[in-house]
């Protein structure tokens, strides 16, 4: 399993730690403890599917920042592992 710790801007100038776990089954688990959020998705999913899944998950968890920017930042981090 590959584990990575990154920092991204989640709202305005607020930085947060992002944990990315890549499992042997080629699944990603992304978590941002500062907003009590995590999501899992398959590496083989297309970027549009991943973005929609992440956006829906953030909206469901009532993230109050700009979800479009946060989803873009997360997908850019995850893209390193493709």
Helix (H, G, I), strand (E, B) or coil at 36: coil
The answer to whether the predicted template modeling score (pTM) of the entire model surpasses 0.85 is: no
Per-residue pLDDT reduced to its tens digit, 44-58: 667 677 788 888 888
> For residue 26, what pLDDT is reported?
82
Question: What ranges make up the beta strands (E) of the chain?
Answer: 2-11, 14-22, 27-32, 37-42
Are 75 and 6 within 8 A, CB to CB? no
Per-residue pLDDT reduced to its tens digit, 18-67: 999 988 888 889 999 988 999 888 876 676 777 888 888 888 877 777 88
DSSP state of 33: G
């Amino acid at each position: 399993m590959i584990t990575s710790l990154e920092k991204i801007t989640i709202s305005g100038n607020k930085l947060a730690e992002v944990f990315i776990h890549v499992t042997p089954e080629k699944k990603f688990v992304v978590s941002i403890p500062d907003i009590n959020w995590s999501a899992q998705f398959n590496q083989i999913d297309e970027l549009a599917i991943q973005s929609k899944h992440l956006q829906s998950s953030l909206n469901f968890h009532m993230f109050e920042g700009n979800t479009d920017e946060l989803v873009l930042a997360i997908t850019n981090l995850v893209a390193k592992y493709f």
